[in-house]
Amino acid sequence: MDHLSTFADGAPWFVGWGTLALINAALAQGKNRSGLLWFLLSLLLGPIATLLIVLLPKVRAKMF
């Protein structure tokens, strides 16, 4: 039973980190960047990835 209580204590933090990764993926796609790549980076970097996405300029659309 101790294992379940340990997981339950960390669950809100885990859910919040995953939600932030989804938000970062959406922000990245809004700037014409890979949502999947930024989702994975966000799982590792968290709020630092958010800061990077916000500071990086939007990628220009390719002509061809």
The average pLDDT across 32-57 equals 95
For the segment 16-39, what is each residue's pLDDT rounded down to a tens digit? 899 999 999 999 999 999 999 999
Half-sphere exposure at residue 47, Cβ-oriented, CA atoms within 13 angstroms: 2
Q: Does residue 60 belong to any structural domain of this protein?
A: no
Q: Does residue 44 belong to any structural domain of this protein?
A: yes
Q: Does residue 64 belong to any structural domain of this protein?
A: no
Q: Does residue 61 belong to any structural domain of this protein?
A: no
The model's pTM is: 0.77
Q: Does residue 26 belong to any structural domain of this protein?
A: yes
The domain of 48 spans 2-55
Number of folded domains that form the chain: 1
Q: Does residue 50 belong to any structural domain of this protein?
A: yes
Q: Is 57:48 a contact under the CB 8 Å cutoff? A: no
CA distances from 5 to 8, 13, 20 (A): 5, 14, 24
